Amino acid sequence: MMNKLTYIICMIIAVMMIPSCTLDEASYTEIEKKNYLNTASEAETVLLGVYRKMVEEGMYRFHLSMLFTIPTDIAKVQGNSPDGLRLVPSNSYTSTQIEVQQTWSSLYSAIYDANDFIEQLSRKSANYSEREQQLAAIYMAEARTLRALYYFELVRWFGNVALMTNTGQSHQNPATFVQANPVDVYKFIETDLLYAIDNLPYATDDNFRSDNSFRVSKGAVMGLLTKVYATWAGHPVLDQSKWEDAAKIAGTLINSGKHTLINDYEQLWKNTCNGIWDPSESLLEVSFYSPSITGTAAFDPSGRIGKWNGVTATNIRGVRNAGNWKVIPTFLRDWNNRSNDKRWQISFADYRYGVSPGTGQEGVKIPISNNATIQEALAQDASDNIKRPFMDNLSPAKWDTEKYVDEANYLVDANLSNINWYILRYSDVLLLYAEAINEFNKGPNSDAYEAVNSVRRRGFGLPMNTGSSMADLPANLTYEEFQAAVRAERAYELAFEGHRRQDLTRWGIYYESIMKTAQDIADWYSDGPQYYIPANHTKKNKHELLPIPQRDLDLMTNFKQNPGW
């Protein structure tokens, strides 16, 4: 969550940091910390270092945005074997997998930084001027939000984790660490976020920070708390009372009028591909920016967005896009109202970029099939020969580097980009609001309908506040029917944005969705199952969580491994 204006500051912060490997290691040096945070300006500089943890490989640069989130009913990794880069996205890894270790360590390192900042600011801010103390309250709220976010990722990915509420705990012998009840972790997250709500301004009302671009605001925290409550209410904790809490906090945010959907769905991707922050809909967004690549991660806050999950490309401005993330054709086939829903075509690419066979021109858009269109291939009675190119070559298109990234934001590198990543959008909150109302009341009301219909109307290119027979859900849906409609809508609106796997997990249907998708593919295309490798490795009551990294498990003798691992 850092913008271009703070690039140099964050490079300085990065020099101070060293990577954390286990819970008992500090994430940066302890030398002369007493000399920092003597002013609000110094505090802000250090706070940006806590934000900067987001751009690490184990965080949203790669693992939490893409790698762990791929295997679902809407996306898969390219290829037909669980080897190499496909090991994690095929769910065929073990507790010794390095990427699992990296994410675990990165999250705890980020939590340590947040804890340390909170402790240092608590000690130093008493000596600030009145104006600086106002800023300190905001910075404290930002740090507690980031700590809550990092713990939220830990508890929903790893389940049974250690709750480290201060830096002193991090220096204990690992053998003394115990696994907290996930409920206690959620309560800790809730406390941090409620504090932040009380102490942060809405983005549009912020007269304190000189630049709040990509920084946490009251609306962002309320949206995040909504998501926390919805996850808390679902599997595996299943505290159904949290649906009411989710509906209340989301309703407060919606009724505030401080956030809204932007009119044009496609503009979201033009914005995020060019570092343009629009706080009306973007609530939490990781900003990647590096003017060049040095090869040292600490100095290169760039990401893999658009490279690993973008349109496959060769001979382009940025050398190439691997495009390893692929779209499942049966998901596109079953997308309701796809002829009218403008999000359908925006969300996937039935083309690649390469050298034109006719002219030799580079960076040209080339159809992945010369024999049929995607519409023809999705037909059930189409031949396997027509379907074949579409099984393993459809890419997400929201981060199309050649379509959306302007020259000023283009990073010429084969693996990294300056494209941002949305963690939370306002449309996500609207859909969670509709879901929470339906779950709490065991049926939808007019507010639930309006929330989901406004998202659908925008998706159809229609006025968001005007009823539409084409876009609106049918009236008088039952609890089960509305639940199914909202779950489908989350797949359409948030396709490939990293939410689907956690949605399926909290709904308690992750394994079942993997198996159903495998059957759908087999029914559609005879050779399809070999390209959907998660079906061969995913196990129920195992892959809902990542394993506790084996290295840490060996050190933390009080810990028990997650089920199935």
DSSP labels, 208-274: SSS--TT---HHHHHHHHHHHHHHHHSTTT--TTHHHHHHHHHHHHHHHTS----S-TTHHHHHHTT
- On the question of pLDDT at 261 being above 60, the answer is yes
pLDDT of residue 147 exceeding 70 = yes
pLDDT tens string 355-392: 988 888 999 999 999 999 999 999 989 999 999 999 99
Q: Residue 320 belongs to what H/E stretch?
A: strand 319-321
Average pLDDT over residues 50-72: 97
For the residues 62-90, what does the mean pLDDT come to?
96
* Distance, CA of 110 to CA of 13 (rounded, Å): 13
What are the structure tokens assigned to 60, written together?
């949203």
The secondary structure of 360-377, three-state, reads CCCCEEEECCCCCCHHHH
Per DSSP, what are the bridge partners of residue 28?
A: 17
d(CA 84, CA 292): 28
Tell me how far apart the alpha carbons of residues 480 and 486 are, in angstroms, rounded to a whole number.
Answer: 10
What pLDDT shows up at residue 32? 57
**DSSP, res 423:** E
431 pLDDT above the threshold of 60 = yes
Task: Give the whole-number percent of the chain exceeding pLDDT 90.
Answer: 91
pLDDT at position 358 is 83
Share of the chain above pLDDT 70, in %: 94
Q: What pLDDT does 10 receive?
A: 43
Higher-scoring residue by pLDDT: 8, 436: 436
Residue 536 pLDDT > 60: yes
Please indicate, yes or no, whether the overall pTM of this predicted structure exceeds 0.85: yes
Residue 215 pLDDT more than 60? yes
What is the Cβ-side half-sphere exposure of residue 160, based on CA atoms within 13 angstroms? Answer: 15
Alpha-carbon span 519 to 555, nearest angstrom: 42
- Residue 353 parent element (H or E): strand 351-354
- 3-state SS string over 120-167? HHHHHHHHCCHHHHHHHHHHHHHHHHHHHHHHHHHHHHHCCCCCCCCH
Helices (H), 16-159: 40-52, 98-124, 130-158
Average pLDDT across the chain, whole number: 94
pLDDT for 47:
97
Residues 548, 161: Cα–Cα separation, whole Å:
8
Average pLDDT of the residues in 2-17 = 41
Q: Looking at residue 296, what is its pLDDT? A: 82
Residue 34 is predicted with a pLDDT of 67
59: helix, strand or coil: helix
Q: What integer is the mean pLDDT of 288-307?
A: 90
pLDDT at 20 over 90: no
- How many angstroms separate the CA atoms of 145 and 127, rounded? 24
- Position 33 scores a pLDDT of 59
Tell me the average pLDDT across 13-34.
Answer: 47
CA dist., res. 20 & res. 459, Å (int): 42
- Tokens encoding 13: 């912060």
